[in-house]
A and B are shown apart, each in its own frame.
Chain A
Amino acid sequence: MKLPPFEYACPATINEAVALLAGHGGEAKPLAGGQSLMPMMAFRIAQPSLLVDLRKLPGLKEIKIGADGVRLGALVRWRDILDDKRLDAAHPLLKEAISHVAHYQIRNRGTVGGSCAHADPASEMPGIAQTCEATFSVIGKAGARTIKAADFFQGALTTALKPDEIVTEIHLPAWPAQRRYGFQEFARRRGDFAMAGIALYYDVEGGKAANAHIGVFGVGDCQRRLPKAEAALNGHTVDDALAVKVGEAAAAEVEPQEDIHASSAYRRALTGTLAERALKAAAAR
């Protein structure tokens, strides 16, 4: 479990970083917190010829909060999110989700950009990005562009990023103070990747749920929203009976995989249970 041979560079500007990535024909990889990339290299699942360390790039470590929402620099760590008191109001769902990520040591290094670029189907941040319709800012050889979360995540460990592109920022739209939200996940041990998880929110209009967003992670090959479950929620008064219905809709519309930790049938039922409970929690807030 030793790393394969590789070159290392630690550029001071984004342009340099992009040039290094572009110059290696897909063989180079950005290095952020290293909490996914290093284990993959130790297992020799990934063998990049060059690591481009992003740590000196300016401006990527900030959390900006404004009228248009929350902007997370790509190098913002889990720890930074959990320590930021402003986020309690500016994005409580994000904060709650991130409290479930991994363990203390890993949260001190792992970054939002790394997590999204890595795109593990069971990770929380891409789940939040999908649920909240985040937008990714990226820079590559061809220049800067933005990518909607729905287009960014394409499958297990697969994103819309080109090999020379670096995520610079993740934008989460503004969070109204009255918004209801819930977050539920279940892992076999605390800090493990979840067997299934649900992030959801809705706004209340005339006593009824509106603008429902329900996202699932850990189920299927990609974080995604659950439009049928959202439809079951929109326009209704939220009570326990509705929560059960929304849960059933969620369970019905996922395509759960089977692995050594959970059968597919169990995962489907779990999705429904978590959606039901997340909605109950949201209504109780």
Chain B
Amino acid sequence: MKNTFIGQPMERREDMRFLRGRGEYVDDVAMPGLLYAVILRSSVAHGRLISIDASAALKVPGVHSVITAADMPGGPPIVPMRLQPLPEFKPFEQPVIAHDKVRYVGEPIAVVLASSVAIGEDALEAIAVEIEDLPAVADWQTAAKNKSVLFEKPGTNRSLVFQARKGDADAAFANAPYVRREHLRTGRHYGLTMEPRGVMATWDDAAGKLTVYGAAKVPFFNRRILSAQIKLPVESIEMIENDVGGGYGARGEFYPEDFLIPFAARHVRRPVKWIEDRRETLMAMNHAREEECDLEVACARDGTILAIRGEVHTDMGAYMRTNGAVGARNVSQFMAGPYRVPHVKIDSSLWMTNKTPVGTYRGPGRFEANFFLERMIDMIAADLGIDRIDFRRKNLITSAEQPYPIAHVQPTDARDEYDSGEYSETLERALKEIDWPKLSKLQGKLIDGKYHGLGVVCFIEGGGAGPKESARIEVNKDGTLSVYMGTSSVGQGVETVFAQIAADALEVPVERIHHVYHGSTAYVSDGYGAYHSRSTVMGGSAVLDATNNFMATLRQAAGKRLGCAESNVALDIDKVTGGGRSMELSEFAELTAEGAFLNKKHTYSYGAHVAHITVDARLGRIEIVDYVVVQDVGRAVNPLTVKGQVLGSLVQGLGGAVLEDLKYDENGQFLTGSLADYLLPTATDFPNLRCVVLDDYPSPINPLGVKGAGEGGIIAAGGCMANAVANALQSFGAQPLQLPLTPTYIWELVQAGQKQAAE
């Protein structure tokens, strides 16, 4: 039997569990003797911590204890960086709890353990904290003055400058016939998960064993961090992944609470649970995106891009967190997007400010880079009198040029190349889907009080980060099979996708794959987790290797028992046959084999966004009439889940394009502490979205040919919407240079245009 589950739009096997309310999230896990943790967070953006007096809080009935830095001998441990752990970042890493200074509104100061969350919150009000205010650094420009520094030792607010280099950009600019320079910025966003974070920890004193529930994304990494901080061998720590209500890069990284809760459990020898609430998550989970740049593009008169050069400034917030450098790194490396740019020179500065620290959020740095360059391309094409689509066609990388080397980033020494693809094909397909020739007549037209505009952009998405992933196949007692994974589920549907891959490789019906286990440290010897759109690329390839090893192990065992040559053994659904004899697979219960996939290269899926919008210029209101994303993902294991990824990430991207912005005042006070202030897209906001998934150019760097596909929808949404707004409001000369495209901002652009026309 030759299966073809790969490529089929199979419904997700996880869905029935979730839809029937049978998921088990960390908050669903009950435990006798449980204490609830509630965290006192700084209400001051920048200050010296003088004293904490919890004596009144301890008298609140139901309060068990209050933990502060003073309870941690040797001082609170530091959360180390997971990605780009450069020595330069060391002085800026975050202690798990404030001890000498507070550096952002929301920084943990004390942990109350109580018999209920409500009582814990009552006790928060009884803790007296004395903080001596220091001048707040509320934006990167203030940070750059270095008058008030967050960290005395390094004495500067700039933790690093990433340098992306390719060719000789300065020389190219010196000789360029045409150069345009613009100043652009993106808002501050974050990967808001439907289920906020949660950690529950239990400490078994007799066995010296710590169990941590609520692990997500990168449990093996986090176990290593925790092990070093809490001084327990990794074998004494088990990380359990429960169902996870969304990750988006933010959930599952190691945060202060990932130490504080296990520490508390061991400290008081009781199980402790902490569930982040909505207000907390807005100021405690990683922020992202707030980047500003001066970008220059040099072109030939025929529209050939010669070089790009620029400076980017990222508002990092108060600490360098685990993956906090990724956005600032990516924006420099991927500024050129899917285009052939021979010379690149981008300096990307990381500025520490008194805000919630940043981390990755779906499409980190790529969303920003795409907006910056694509916005400029439309302006440049207009300057040069070239159709903006022809301009893109001319500069998109062709398959003949693959693998295509991209900018090299220092000091991480990141060298990289795109893997495969004929990028213009997705653009052409998107234009055809939306019927561009017909719509193009509407550009800038005022119909029934609304201006029509079209946006078009191309993008590249990186995925499949190595170095390794593991998988294991095991025979269950009933003769079905289980797959155990080193990657995690953050809601992507990996249980379905890995079952499809395993069933194809083993040539068994997909129902024989009884369950796919993932995300907990007990399942495989080592794992790397779910980030950088890597699970299907790395995990899927590991499943292939595991199935090979599994068949070898099964042949060996069955050959002996069936009395035949190993090469004659075959797996036939629930039977093992060989030498004319047959056994039930269940007789091999617990037979297991692990496999791994090692790879240092990255996959690059790519595509195009095309939008048709209207703008009510007086209200500043944008409405989407039609929106199409075309993405080539190398090989679509499950077209349904890929579509879900593309559309879901598109809605998130549109949120960032028009709604979302985390705001602070000049004193570093947080102004968007609820979902009434931080505006997420809701079900009625963007009803008209479509996507087409192609798999015409498989990736050559993994046996499945798959590419990461979780971020393409988000990456280009800001650029596409901004271009569409500019196109709609061309009669006002409107050129949006910042996101989000709020009503106020659009109205201001229109006003400025009208004023200029009047002069």
Contact = CB atoms under 8 A, between A and B. Distances in A.
A266 B684 contact: no
Interface stretch (B134-142, B333-341, B378-386, B742-750): B742-750
Given A186-B619, A266-B748, A270-B619, A260 B122 contact: no
Interface residues of B, number: 32
Contacts of B751: 269
B657 to A, nearest CB: 13
A156 interface: no
Interface in A1-17: 1-5
Interface stretch (A22-30, A189-197, A215-223): A189-197
B743 A260 contact: no
A188 interface: yes
Given A5-B122, A189-B684, A266-B748, 8 more contacts: A2-B117, A5-B118, A44-B125, A186-B619, A193-B676, A261-B744, A269-B618, A270-B747
A36 to B, nearest CB: 11
A261 B676 CA distance: 10
A188 B747 contact: no
A273 B682 CA distance: 26
B59 to A, nearest CB: 15
Contacts of A269: 618, 747, 751
A43 B619 contact: no
A1 B124 CA distance: 12
B671 interface: yes
12 contacts: A1-B277, A188-B659, A189-B684, A190-B685, A195-B743, A260-B672, A261-B742, A266-B747, A269-B751, A270-B618, A270-B747, A273-B618
B620 A266 contact: yes
B682 A260 contact: no
Given A2-B117, A261-B742, A270-B619, A190 B747 contact: no
Interface string A158-195: 00000000000000000000000000001011111101
B677 interface: yes
B477 interface: no
A262 interface: yes
Contact of A262 (B121, B618, B743): B743
Contact of A43 (B125, B279, B661): B279
Interface in B724-759: 742-744, 747-748, 751
Contact of B743 (A43, A44, A188): A188
Most chain A beta carbons < 10 A, residue from B116, B117, B121, B685 = B121
Contact of A263 (B116, B676, B685, B744): B744
Interface string B672-690: 1010110101101100000
Contacts of A263: 744, 748
A260 B671 contact: yes
A273 B619 contact: yes
B476 to A, nearest CB: 43
B118 A260 contact: no
Interface string A221-252: 00000000000000000000000000000000
Contacts of A193: 676
B655 to A, nearest CB: 10
A162 B682 CA distance: 38
Nearest to A195: B743
B663 interface: yes
A186 B118 contact: no
Given A1-B279, A262-B743, A266-B620, A192 B679 contact: yes
B278 A1 contact: yes
Nearest to B740: A188
Contacts of B659: 188-189
A260 B677 contact: yes
Contacts of B13: none
B663 A4 contact: no
A188 B121 contact: no
Give me the 9 closest cross-chain CB pairs, A-B, nearest first.
Answer: A2-B118, A266-B744, A1-B277, A273-B618, A263-B744, A266-B747, A260-B663, A2-B121, A190-B684
B159 to A, nearest CB: 28
B621 interface: yes
Interface residues of A, number: 23
Interface string B650-663: 00000000010101
Contacts of A43: 279, 674
B118 A3 contact: yes
A189 B675 CA distance: 12
A269 B671 CA distance: 24
Contacts of A266: 620, 743-744, 747-748
Interface in A241-285: 260-263, 266, 269-270, 273
Interface in B110-137: 116-118, 121-122, 125
Interface in B236-269: none
Contacts of B122: 4-5
Contacts of B619: 186, 270, 273
Contacts of B278: 1
Nearest to B663: A260
B744 A189 contact: no
A245 to B, nearest CB: 16
Most chain B beta carbons < 10 A, residue from A5, A192, A273 = A273
Nearest to B36: A2
A190 B744 contact: no
B21 to A, nearest CB: 18
A188 B677 CA distance: 11
B2 to A, nearest CB: 50
A43 B121 CA distance: 10
Nearest to A190: B684
B158 to A, nearest CB: 28
Contacts of A189: 659, 679, 681-682, 684-685
Interface string B606-626: 000000000000111100000
Contact of A186 (B121, B621, B684, B742): B621
Contacts of B618: 269-270, 273
A157 to B, nearest CB: 15
Contacts of B744: 261-263, 266
Contacts of A3: 118
Contacts of A261: 679, 742, 744
Most chain A beta carbons < 10 A, residue from B618, B672, B684, B685 = B618
Contacts of A191: 682
A262 B744 CA distance: 6
Contacts of A190: 682, 684-685
Nearest to B280: A1
Contacts of A270: 618-619, 743, 747
A266 B743 CA distance: 8
A184 to B, nearest CB: 10
Contacts of B685: 189-190
B661 to A, nearest CB: 8
A44 B743 CA distance: 31
Contacts of B681: 189
B684 to A, nearest CB: 5
Nearest to B618: A273
A188 B751 CA distance: 19
Interface in B202-241: none
Contacts of B684: 189-190
A262 to B, nearest CB: 5
A186 B743 contact: yes
Contacts of B676: 192-193
B738 to A, nearest CB: 14
A243 to B, nearest CB: 13
A188 B279 contact: no
Contacts of B682: 189-191
A277 to B, nearest CB: 9
A188 B675 CA distance: 13
Contacts of A5: 118, 122
Given A1-B277, A190-B682, A262-B744, A44 B121 contact: yes
